[in-house]
Every structure is written in C-alpha cells, then in structure tokens.
A and B are shown apart, each in its own frame.
Chain A
Amino acid sequence: MTKRMDSSDRRKRRPPVVLVVLAALGLFVFVIPLLGLLARTPWRDLPTLLASDVVVDALRVSLIASLGATAISAILGVPLAWVLARVEFRGRSIVRGLVVLPLVLPPVVGGAALLFALGRRGLIGEPLNQATGLVFPFSIWGVIIAATFVAMPFLVITVEGGLRNLDARYEGAAATLGAGRWTVLRRVTLPMIGPSLAAGLALTWARALGEFGATVTFAGNLQGRTQTLPLAVFVALESDRGAAVALSLIMVVISLTVLIALRQRWWGTL
C-alpha cells in the first residue's frame, strides 16, 4: 500500500514526456488564435477605436444582455436544477435532455426556433403581441432571450451537480432542528452549493457574452439596440478590420479576467 502511494507520488513529480508534449500542443490550440489576434492589433489606434461609438454601444448592449440573461437564468435555473436534483418524477431524463439541448444545438437553429415561437408571427409571440403589443425580435429583450436560451443550461447542470453532491443529511438535520423549508434552503442549501452556483453563474454569463448565432437570427443587428460585441465584430470584419480586432480584444480581456478571478475565488477546490 505504502509502496503504491510512493510510486504514484513519483509519477506526480515527473509526468510522462508524451503527455506533456500533447498537453502543450493542446494549449497551443487555444493560444495560437490569441497570438494571431494580438499580432493584428493596431496598438497605436487602439484608444481611438475603443472610444468609438460602435464599440461603446456594443459594449453597453452586451453587458446589459449578458447580465440580464444571467439574472433570469439564476431566477429560473436554480429552481429547475433543484427539481431535477431532488424530485423524482417520470420523464426526468427527458426534461434533463431538453435542458442541455441548447448546449449541442447550433445557435442559429436556436435563434430560428425562437423566431418561430416568440416572433411577431410566432406560436406564442403572435397572441402575446395581439394581447399586449410586445415584440421581442429587434429589441434588447430579444437579445436577452436569445442569450438566456443558450446560456441557462450551464447554470442548471452546474447547480444540479452541486445539489447532487450535497449530503442531504445536513438539510435533514436542519429540518429536525425546526427550520422551515425556506430557512433550510436559504441558510443551508444555498450556502453549501455556493461554489457550484458561482461557477454556474460565471459560465452562464461568459456564454451569454459570447452569444452570436441565436442573437443575429432572433434579435437582428442594430447598433445601439441589438448589436452585441460578437455581432459588431462580425460586421466590422468585412468593413473595418481594426475595429473588429479592437472589439475582439475587449471580449478576450473581459472574459479572461472574470474567468481567472472567479477561478481563484471560488473554483480553487474544483
């Protein structure tokens, strides 16, 4: 037993060369495109580009939409995760499949589906429009809905995982000590799944920030109203490459900063 522990320790100290080489190649796959981006960055014009209307508008739309989508995902996704983790019911695996479907579906398909469901002539959109006058496409709400559709699965599966790993006896103990169901949820369950919740929120937000296909299909593209950072990059690539690179750089910096910060703060143990 001791001997086996020793050998595994030694293996930890000196990883196999093949593995290290492959890992380095794997890292290259992620790093090379970033280097390409940096090589094309017009550093001298960068301040002007970053202050331009297109960039500022896109940043604003992107922040509102991604934070809005994260908030909606938290409000609806946590209960969904709780039901999936704690309630036994027929068809649970089907529900779980439906929840993760947006992860594998091409976002353009999601956007088209949203258009057919919630568009002005859509299944639900048309009666809703006649009753209230609401129109989702070509509005910030369309952008938020598209981002929620593609990003909420990250929150649900992460939180559901956290709930499944949580020892239900803690909640049981709190209940026997006289805590009501809300108190248990608020004082025991939520704090204990804190790291999963934070990770889920971060992933959801990051996915919402990068959303493109569903947004352009469902919400359209208009500067200052529905044009997010990825949409602005896509349009600028064919007209103003400097602006496209500047926009891309913003996305890389924001996403990387948040993901690294969160990793150190909450994911240290994961």
Chain B
Amino acid sequence: MPSPIVSEPGEGVRAPLRPNGVCDREGSSVRRNQAITVSVATAALLLSACGGTGNGTGNEILVSAASSLTEAFTEMETAFESANPGFDVVLNIGGSSALREQILAGAPADVFASANTSNMDLVVSAGDVGGEPLIFARNRLEIAVPIGNPGSVTALADFARDELLIGLCAESVPCGEYGQRALHNADVAASVDTEEPNVRALLTKIEVGELDAGIVYETDVASTDGVDGVEIPYGDNVHADYPIAVLAETPNADGAAAFVAFVLSPEGRAILADHGFVLP
C-alpha cells in the first residue's frame, strides 16, 4: 500500500517518514532526530567557521525513492554506508506520485528518485530541486502472468480477451501511465478488470493467481519467483526513465550529493544492473 501523503511544513524538524517500515531500523523519535539536526547544524556552523567542509557523524540522508526501487536502493544504502561510514541513509519508499506530493507539501527529504520524469518535473517546476535531475536508470515493461501461464497469454493482444482477468496499475501512478501507453502502442483495447493502486499490489494479485495477466516492470518480474514474464516487443514497449536529484531545501547538501554520485558510480550502476535495471 502506498504511503499516505505526509504534509508537514518543513521547519527544519526532520520527522522520519517511514510509511512502509523500510526505514524502521531504529526507533528514532522526532525529538532525537531534532537533536541530531540541531547538533549537526551546530557542528556544521563551527566547522564552516574554521573553514572546514567535513560532515559530522550521524549525518542523515533522507532518500525518497519510488516503490520499484525498493530492493535496489536497500542494497544501495548498505553499500553506500559501508563506503562512507560517516553517513546514515534513511529510505522513504512510496509511489512516485505520493512522494512528489510529500515533497511539494514541504516534507523534508534530501534526495528524490522518481520512476518517471513527470513527477520529477513537477518538483523541479515548484523550485524544490537543487541542480539538474539526472537519469540514473531505465526500466522496461513486461507482462506478468501466474506461474504456468493458465490464461495462455502470449502478447498484449491477449489483454483484449474478455474471459481473462486483466489487471493494470491505476493511471495515477507511473506504471499505470506506461501500461496504458504500451497498450496504445500495440493498438489493443484491453478488457481491464482492476486498476491497482501500485505495482506491487498488482504483482501480488498475479502471484496468487487471481489475475491472469498484468503489465509491470521487468525489474518486478525479476524480483520474485512467483510470476512468469512474457516479453513486450521493443516497438510497443515503453522505457521508463528514473531521474534522481538533490532537493533544494536539503540541510545536508554534501551528503545528498555524495549519495547521488554513488548511485551514478560504477558500483551503484552494478547494483542497479543486478536488479534488472537498464543503464543509461
């Protein structure tokens, strides 16, 4: 289930956003985070007064990342922290549109990684991004079917078969928008039975066999043993661009830039490739 929209004013209080329990590693309270923010800010002030640029310990980087990045970014976090012991990456995973709403509403975050460019563009045009967003990964769509393919689905054209139970993502999330575009490319009028609120909910209903087919990302099919994949031909397929950017209001610009640089580094790219992403 995607996260509820958090609309706290960004007053420097770095309230932990953890809708999916992804960042539940330690029971850090708002008060503690606030204390950390204050001490980090104080340390930064003192250091800058001395002409230093270093970061203190307990330096937190809050990364808002799209649900389809869940596994890749969890691994990214571990790798980044062991390469940069001074930093603490906290992941806030959710649907790209929900994350966008959080950022626009002023929720604190240092880095935004979206599953499409349109959500990033909205954040950019609101003036919430520092610097230019960079495309760090690409994803393609794939048809997911239950193991054994009981509906004998071989192409997008099968989505028009009325007797099959077909699922898509809701059009408000990127995978739904892409899925509709792929169906349009293939000139298929799909007989859709459900529009799931996010790609993982759709994947689950296919895994348990309640749906005969659905359009998900290639990385989603790769993430589970519970579904089979049916390729969508290159001409009909849609290529999802994943942009990443440091947010303008970040109190931790150095840390945020370091994390983005790590995602774009050979090590970061290797992690993304491992999880089935296509590299730009």
Interfacial residues, chain A to chain B (CB-CB below 8 A): 108, 115-116, 119-121, 135, 137-138, 213, 216-217, 220-223, 225-226, 234-239
Contact = CB atoms under 8 A, between A and B. Distances in A.
A121 B209 contact: yes
Given A220-B193, A222-B195, A238 B209 contact: no
B150 to A, nearest CB: 9
Contacts of B95: 238
Contact of B97 (A116, A222, A226, A238): A238
Contacts of A238: 2, 5, 95, 97-98, 101, 172-173
18 contacts: A115-B205, A115-B210, A116-B208, A119-B209, A119-B210, A121-B208, A137-B205, A138-B210, A216-B197, A220-B195, A222-B192, A222-B194, A226-B194, A235-B170, A235-B172, A235-B197, A238-B5, A239-B97
- Where chain B touches its partner, the secondary structure class is loop
Contacts, number: 65
Given A137-B165, A216-B201, 4 more contacts: A120-B209, A121-B208, A222-B192, A234-B197
B208 A115 contact: yes
A221 B197 contact: yes
A138 B165 contact: yes
Interface string B186-214: 00000011111100010001001111000
A220 B205 contact: yes
B97 A120 contact: no
A138 B193 contact: yes
A223 B167 CA distance: 13
B254 interface: no
A120 B165 contact: yes
Give 5 nearest A-B pairs by CB, closest first: A220-B194, A239-B172, A238-B97, A121-B209, A138-B193
